Amino acid sequence: MSLLKRLSLIVAVIAAASTAAASTAVRAQDFPSGQMRLIVPFAAGGAADIIGRAIAEKLGALYGRTIIVENMPGAGSNIGITAAVRAQPDGHTLVLASVAVAANVALFKSLPFDPLKDLAPLTLALETPNVVIVPAISDVKTIPDLLAHVKKGSSSYASAGIGSSLHLAAELFKQQAGVDITHVPYRGSSPALTDLITGRIDVMFDNASTALPQVQGGKVRAIAVTTKDRIAQLPDVPTVAESGLPGYEMSNWWAVYVTAKTPPAVVAKLSADLRKALADPDLAKRFDDVSGRIVASSAEELAAHTAREVKKWERVVETAGIRASQ
């Protein structure tokens, strides 16, 4: 190839790159330009739905438009996340994912997406705790009491299903404490709570949003929270780590992503705008209902967090030999 042809080719490549960059810049500058939607890969009415609708409302107010919230439950959130991965890469389809997006890498034999490659992180929005609860009629009042009870003989813990955050929190506890507690999975938190209250089950690592009303009603006793810090709703209840299991930490977290094919400039704008939306003081009050702590991380911080969580739950899941139903 002659020098002139080489130079022409280089100029053409540079021109194409400049055009693409300019096009991306225009798209980011004009964004949003169409109907936006936030996929919530869980059923309506639960904590994810409450969180998703609150975020969509505040981000929509920032953009002066309504963001449609679309519930797509199923397969441990994989159905909704897959839809977001395959959406048009224009930034108009967001997805609110939970800790499940990291745990599912190990829980499922195969996934139609790789969360570390196929999703562009925007912000880690919120963290919520699980609460370690026992029947009100139980003699167990602390984590040391629970460990002593477990070591005496057969004990059981309830979860909202295989691979749920309740299941993962308890398995992490079992592995770090070196104890054996029989897992009894239920189809949701409500039937599990019913059996816990009556004493058929010994312990449960329940979501704070469903555990707190039962604690406040005197039907169950809270003995610890799973997060790094205590929560305002239960200021006298210690963390698991404080209670004799240093290093134990588990939180439900909620983060917003888009498909990885979205132009970087649009991703950067969405990430910045979501952080602005999350700074609205009204959200902190509204998230009190689910004991949520607003994080509002950068995209880079969420990317690192997701990678850490994938490794963490991979260890727990593989050690416990857990497999979710496909």
184 three-state secondary structure: strand
311, 321, 228, 121: CA torsion to nearest 10: 40
22 in any annotated domain: no
How high is the pLDDT of residue 23?
44
Is the CB of residue 98 less than 8 Å from the CB of residue 127? no
| CATH code for the domain of 310 | 3.40.190.150
Q: Are residues 270 and 301 in the same domain?
A: yes
Q: Are residues 137 and 119 in the same domain?
A: no
In the chain, the number of structural domains is 2
Q: Are residues 167 and 312 in the same domain?
A: no
How high is the pLDDT of residue 290?
78
The pTM is what? 0.87
How high is the pLDDT of residue 11?
32
Q: Are residues 112 and 257 in the same domain?
A: yes
Q: Are residues 146 and 194 in the same domain?
A: yes
How high is the pLDDT of residue 54?
96
Could you tell me whether strands 156-159 and 182-185 are parallel, antiparallel, or unpaired per DSSP bridges? parallel
- Distance between CA atoms of residues 104 and 309, nearest Å: 11
Is the CB of residue 189 less than 8 Å from the CB of residue 213? no
4 in any annotated domain: no
Q: How far apart are the first and last CA of the chain?
A: 55
300 in any annotated domain: yes
Q: Which residues contact 196 (CB under 8 A, 6 or more apart)?
A: 133, 134, 135, 158, 203, 204, 220
| CATH code for the domain of 194 | 3.40.190.10
Q: Are residues 136 and 277 in the same domain?
A: no
| Residue after which a domain boundary falls, among 208, 225, 242 | 225
Q: Are residues 49 and 120 in the same domain?
A: yes
189 in any annotated domain: yes
Q: Are residues 124 and 135 in the same domain?
A: no
14 in any annotated domain: no
pLDDT along the chain (326 residues), means of 10: 39 40 56 96 91 97 97 94 97 97 94 96 96 97 97 93 94 96 93 95 94 96 96 95 96 97 97 97 87 95 98 96 78
How high is the pLDDT of residue 318?
95
Q: Give the residue numbers spanning the domain of 257.
A: 32-128+252-320
Q: Are residues 284 and 141 in the same domain?
A: no
